[in-house]
Structure 1
């Protein structure tokens, strides 16, 4: 019988964190899953750790291949997944015990929803909550704020062609993926709760990014979705001009006095806008 959820764990030299990641899968209060571990050419003891979990529980599946990067490795794992739903899980992050069950409940109640995601909790070199916003295409175009650790229907991954494997540098595939889903009007659902633990380390892949690498990836995404960026620019610009026209019309019909003042008491700056009656 096919599992309903496929958890995809790309690994590259993950010996320090992989055990905690895989244990978090076992500690869920949801059992109908398979976990696909993909070793992306590691040269440490990642394989030994993965195989120990395969021996412990046959819901763990293990694959190994040459090093090709995060996007190709995720696609490799998802291509072999049997589940209706996909959960990408980085090999240093950890699931909260209720995430899978909460997400499946949402999907079953509303069949129009394509993605379920939540907030995170930092651990490692940084601790504390990571609270994110509801999905808005115009906001995600500016900057990614939703981690890859979300649960979505496999069919929408197929519809957009999976994760982009051609970006200049690996690391922003999830950002591109969310934009791609936004272009086909996929419905996102934000769980207002912590769904996973996000590992923070100075040695993580994203920390190794330089300004030039960031810029090249940004340029790639901007060019790929240039019509969408132009459309949203025009939309925001037209909204700005409309507000400007309304404000000017108000100035013509009423007398406004703009009183700008600063108060240094208690270190606060206060600005006021006062309307004077006729």
Structure 2
């Protein structure tokens, strides 16, 4: 019988963190899962660690391939998954034990929901909370504020063609994916709770990005979703025009009141002076 949810765990030189990540998987309150570990060309002991967990629990599945990057590795794993739901999990992050259970309850209660996500707690080189907003398509067009560690229906991954493998640089696949789902009007649900722990390291992939790399990925996304950006710009422009017109009406109305007041005040002042002179 197929599992309800597939947890997707790409790995690249993850020997320092993988044990803790897989421990957070096995400690879930919800136990009807499979975990697909994909070794993306690691040169350390990642494979040895992963295989030790496969021996412990047959719900862990292990694959190894040449290094191709995060987007391709996630797609590689999801193609081999059997779950109704997908949960991407970086090999240095930690799941909170009630995340999957809480998300499944949301999906069962409202069949229209396509994605469930929550807040995070930083650990490693940074401490504190990462509290995110509700999903707004217009805001997502500007920048990504939702991590990949969210649970979504696999059918939507199929519908958008998976994670984009053609971006100039790997690292913004999550952002593009959330825009793609938003373009389909997929409904997101924000669990106002900490759902995972996010590992902060100076060696993370995104921190290695130069401004040029950011710009090239941004331009790629802008071009791919040019229709959505144009529609959003048009909406903002018309909204701004409406605000300006209302502001002008207010100014004219205020000017009328001020003019009337000044005129009245002037008349009464003249009349008062006239009476005093008399």
- Counterparts of 1:88-99 in structure 2 under 5 Å? 88-99=88-99
- Structure 2 equivalent of residue 156 of structure 1: 156
- Structure 2 equivalent of residue 176 of structure 1: 176
TM-score normalized by the length of structure 1: 0.92
Render the CA deviation track for 1:106-141: whole Å, top value 9, x for unaligned.
Answer: 000000000000000000000100000000000000
Aligned length: 261
SS in 2 for 1:106: helix
SS in 2 for 1:116: strand
TM-score normalized by the length of structure 2: 0.92
In the alignment, the residues of structure 1 paired with residue 100 and residue 259 of structure 2 have an alpha-carbon distance, to the nearest angstrom, of 57
- Structure 2 equivalent of residue 235 of structure 1: 235
- Structure 2 equivalent of residue 127 of structure 1: 127
- Counterparts of 1:36-75 in structure 2 under 5 Å? 36-75=36-75
Deviation at 1:255, TM superposition (A): 3.9
- Structure 1 equivalent of residue 7 of structure 2: 7
Q: Does 1:108 align with 2:103?
A: no
In the alignment, the residues of structure 2 paired with residue 79 and residue 45 of structure 1 have an alpha-carbon distance, to the nearest angstrom, of 25
Which structure dedicates a bigger proportion of its chain to helix? 2
Deviation at 1:237, TM superposition (A): 1.1
Render the CA deviation track for 1:207-226: whole Å, top value 9, x for unaligned.
Answer: 11110100000000000001
Report the aligned-residue RMSD.
1.5
In the alignment, the residues of structure 2 paired with residue 53 and residue 255 of structure 1 have an alpha-carbon distance, to the nearest angstrom, of 76
In the alignment, the residues of structure 2 paired with residue 10 and residue 211 of structure 1 have an alpha-carbon distance, to the nearest angstrom, of 26
Q: Structure 1: where are the runs of 5+ without partners? A: 258-274
